[in-house]
Amino acid sequence: MPTPFTPACDGHPLAPIAGPVRVRGAEPGDAVVVELLEITPHGEGITAILRDFGVLRREFREPRALSCPVRDGRAWFGGRIPLRLNPNLGTVSTMPPEGYKPSYAGPYEGDFDQKDVKAGSRVHLPVLVPGALVFFADPHAAISDGIVTGTGVECTSTVRARITLHKGRVVERPIVEVDETVQVLGFGPTVEAATEDATRRRSPSSAWRPGAIPRRPTCSSLSWVSSGSARRPAR
Of 163, 184, 183, which is closest to residue 172 (Cα–Cα)? 184
pLDDT at 33: 96
Q: Provide the 10 A C-beta neighbour count for residue 54.
A: 20
Q: Distance between CA atoms of 65 and 54, rounded to whole angstroms?
A: 14
Least confident of 43-47, 92-96, 107-111: 107-111
Q: Which residue has the higher pLDDT, 177 or 226?
A: 177
Angle at 41 between CA 153 and CA 163, to 5 degrees: 110
Give the per-residue pLDDT at 118.
Answer: 94
State pTM to two decimals. 0.78
Q: Considering only CA atoms, which of 78, 84, 64 is closest in space to residue 142?
A: 84
* β-pairing verdict for 88-93 and 170-171: unpaired
Confidence of residue 56 (pLDDT cuts 50, 70, 90): confident
Per-residue confidence at 195, pLDDT binned at 50, 70, 90? confident
Instruction: Report which of 148, 154, 110 is spatially closest to residue 234, judged by C-alpha positions.
Output: 148
Does pLDDT of 38 surpass 70?
Answer: yes
Which class for 166: exposed (0-12), middle (13-18), buried (19 or more C-beta within 10 A)? Answer: middle
Amino acid at 39: I
Per-residue confidence band for 15, with pLDDT thresholds at 50, 70 and 90: low
How many C-beta atoms lie closer than 10 Å to residue 86's C-beta?
18
The partner residues of 109 in beta bridges, in order of sequence, read: 106
Task: Read off the DSSP letter of residue 192.
Answer: H
pLDDT computed for residue 193 by the predictor: 84
Quick one: CA dihedral 188, 218, 208, 24, positive or negative?
A: positive
Question: Does residue 4 register a pLDDT over 70?
Answer: no
pLDDT of 37: 96
pLDDT of 121 reads: 95
Rounded to an integer, what distance in angstroms lies between the CA atom of residue 143 and that of residue 97? 30
Q: What is the mean pLDDT of residues 84-97?
A: 91
Neighbour-count burial for 57-69, b at 16+ CB within 10 Å, e otherwise? eeebeeeebeebb
205 pLDDT band (50/70/90 cuts)? very low
What integer pLDDT is reported at residue 149 of this predicted model?
A: 77
* Mean pLDDT for the stretch of residues 163-177: 91
Q: Give 235's pLDDT tier (boundaries 50, 70, 90).
A: very low
> Regarding predicted confidence, which is higher, 193 or 70?
70
First to last CA, the chain: 27
Question: How many CA atoms, within 13 angstroms, populate the side-chain half-sphere of residue 29?
Answer: 4
Per-residue pLDDT tens for 132-149? Answer: 999 998 899 998 877 777
Of 26-35, 84-93, 225-234, the one with minimum mean pLDDT is: 225-234
pLDDT tens-digit profile of 207-228? 444 344 544 444 444 433 332 3
